[in-house]
Chains A and B, each alone.
Chain A
Amino acid sequence: MSCLFRYLSIKRFLSSWLIPVVIIGLLTFLVSRGAENINYQWQWYRVGEFLIQFDKGEWFAGPLLKGLLITLKISLLSLLLTLVLSLSTAILRLSSSIVGRGLARGYLELIRNTPLLIQLYLMYFVFGPILGWDKMTTAIISLSLFQAAYTSEIFRAGLRAFNRGQIEAGLSLGLSRTDNYRYIILPQVFRQMLPPLTNEAVSLIKNSSIVSVIAIFDLTTQGRNIIAKTFLTFEVWLMVAAIYLIITLTLSLIASMVERRKVFMK
């Protein structure tokens, strides 16, 4: 807790938050002037109902909140799949097997040299129907295939920077290769890589907005739908951006705190 208070101290608040707030205020002023010029009617009071609704004595999640839950669900599931995929890719790349290395290389080149949008379209229009996936599965698989190609590089760096003595110690104690990975290498590698992995989670959340093109009701799609219904273009887009910003910045903040304090590294 004490680290949290130090992070949020008054001086830091003034120096790192006040001025951006002033700048954002200025930008808001400019935007509102621009909107005045095109006779835009601001209706901020209507935004609340998209987040949360009150009806017959009960609270209901509004469309934006529902969308946010879907976004988080997709990101979380993709993150799990990404971890598995990227770890296996990294291990294959470092393995002695030629087929394994070739496979990993081919996969990386293929994914890194095509846009995510095209991969998603390919999955949705070509692979999905052939293999019988529904929209959600398609989205999760293509997001994690994309992200794993980048995350595997973090794992590879982590594995390569790993102290050889540890591996040799494990082997000399008579652990099998699998047990060596499971009990000696991976626990240490994971701990080292927690901060960079948080960045991967942030980029997954950001990339997950692209699944709105295949009509999954995530935060972005919900925003688009509300705009189509109510024409509150400015308010809703700013709101959606703010929600994404809050989530990704919180994650980044946690990552930087972990990195600075090494909370998990005792």
Chain B
Amino acid sequence: MSNRKKSRYRPTKLDGALVLGLGILSLIWWYRSSIGIAYQWNWDEAITTVFTSKKGIDTPFFITGIYATLRLSIWAALFATFLGFVLGVGRYCAIRSIRMFCGTYIQILRNIPPLVFIFIFYFFISSQVLPFLRLDELISRSEESGLGWVLFGPSRLWENLISGVLCISFISAAYIAEVVRAGLTSIPRGQWEAGESLGIPLADKYRFIIFPQALARIAPPLTGQYISLVKDSSIVSLISVQELTFVGSEIANSSGLLFEVWLLVAFVYFCLCFLLSISLRQVERRVTRHFHRGV
């Protein structure tokens, strides 16, 4: 379709049409925003609102939101990876009902909207499991320490954090399980049979034969899952888990600077996910190195 030349680039008709279209769109945008609804952009105030801290708290509210999103994503990614691998391998279990259970879990979680799952989770599990864990006792016994704050945030929000982490990782685990299952399926049958015929125990078979080969195939889609996990973490704001989106809506509503604050929140998410995707691409390249090397 394209005959790219190494020589100087010559603009095509499509280029002209697109530039023209963009120009018209931005004119409409400019017209509507300055004359249509006459919004007063106030970036100075927005920046100062976002980056100044309230009395008695040393980090600005917005920054704590970013920390909380990071913390939530990291814990959820760890837990979801664990759960996803268990479920994915469970699809290969010799016992049929375990296989069925894992399959059903994956099917259900992937086929209901995340939002509906979050509400169900909030009413069913959050209100039943968390009291069962006796978290409030743990919180009252623990003291604020530097490391604990970095890892889990302020202790009054621990319960909040745990329900957020569980919620996101339950959803994400279903998708990761599917990725793991696809990776395991891609391993030729001969490899499994070879392991069996050598009399290698099940755990060792997975550890030394299957996973080293499967991981290279699992890694690329898995990194994609991590990025969507960070993005999905925004919907737990709807059950009042205090992360970036929640903080953003609080600030937007209290300061009235809707446009600026929402654009800032979107920008921060973009930076987070973009940096993550760039760095994960490096990891992915490292893991799948042997595919690209000429044999």
Contact = CB atoms under 8 A, between A and B. Distances in A.
B8 to A, nearest CB: 12
Interface stretch (B30-38, B48-56, B75-83, B212-220): B30-38
**A-B residue pairs, 3 tightest by C-beta:** A209-B113, A113-B273, A115-B234
Contacts of B114: 206, 209
Task: Please classify the interface of chain A as helix (H, G, I), strand (E, B), loop, or mixed, using the class held by over half of its residues.
Answer: helix
Contact of B123 (A117, A122, A237): A237
A213 interface: yes
Interface in A18-46: 19-20, 22-24, 31, 34, 37-38
Interface stretch (A1-9, A124-132, A136-144, A186-194): A124-132
A245 B269 contact: no
B193 interface: no
A213 B265 contact: no
Given A19-B96, A99-B19, A132-B36, A244 B111 contact: yes
B123 A97 contact: no
Task: Please classify the interface of chain B as helix (H, G, I), strand (E, B), loop, or mixed, using the class held by over half of its residues.
Answer: helix
B117 interface: yes
A212 to B, nearest CB: 7
Given A19-B100, A31-B124, A252-B111, A98 B262 contact: no
Given A115-B234, A117-B234, A117-B237, A97 B269 contact: no
Interface in B127-167: 127-128
Contacts of B14: 95-97, 99-100
A113 B270 contact: yes
A224 B235 CA distance: 16
Contact of B128 (A34, A117, A238): A34
B47 to A, nearest CB: 17
Interface residues of B, number: 63
A121 interface: yes
Contact of B277 (A19, A97, A113, A241): A113
Contacts of B111: 202, 206, 244-245, 248-249, 252
B18 A96 contact: no
A207 B110 CA distance: 11
Contacts of A84: none
A69 interface: no
27 contacts: A19-B96, A19-B100, A24-B104, A34-B124, A94-B2, A95-B14, A96-B3, A97-B18, A99-B18, A100-B18, A114-B266, A114-B269, A117-B235, A117-B237, A118-B248, A121-B245, A121-B262, A125-B252, A130-B39, A131-B29, A132-B36, A159-B1, A209-B115, A237-B116, A241-B120, A244-B111, A244-B113
B194 interface: no
B264 to A, nearest CB: 11
Interface of B: 1-4, 9, 11-12, 14-15, 18-19, 22, 28-29, 32-33, 36-37, 39, 96-97, 100-101, 103-104, 107-108, 111-117, 119-120, 123-124, 127-128, 227, 231-235, 237-238, 245, 248-249, 252, 258-259, 262-263, 265-266, 269-270, 273-274, 277
Interface string A97-111: 111100100000110
A176 interface: no
B240 to A, nearest CB: 13
Given A97-B14, A121-B265, 13 more contacts: A96-B14, A97-B18, A113-B274, A115-B234, A115-B245, A117-B237, A121-B262, A131-B32, A206-B114, A224-B119, A237-B123, A238-B120, A241-B112
A223 B266 CA distance: 29
A241 B117 contact: yes
B235 A210 contact: yes
Nearest to B232: A115
Residue among A126, A131, A212 having the largest count of chain B Cβ atoms under 10 Å: A126
Interface residues of A, number: 60
Interface of A: 19-20, 22-24, 31, 34, 37-38, 94-100, 103, 109-110, 112-119, 121-122, 125-126, 129-132, 159, 167, 202, 205-210, 212-213, 220, 223-224, 233-234, 237-238, 240-241, 244-245, 248-249, 252
B245 A117 contact: yes
Nearest to A91: B1
Nearest to B236: A117
B112 A118 contact: no
B262 A109 contact: no
A237 B245 contact: no
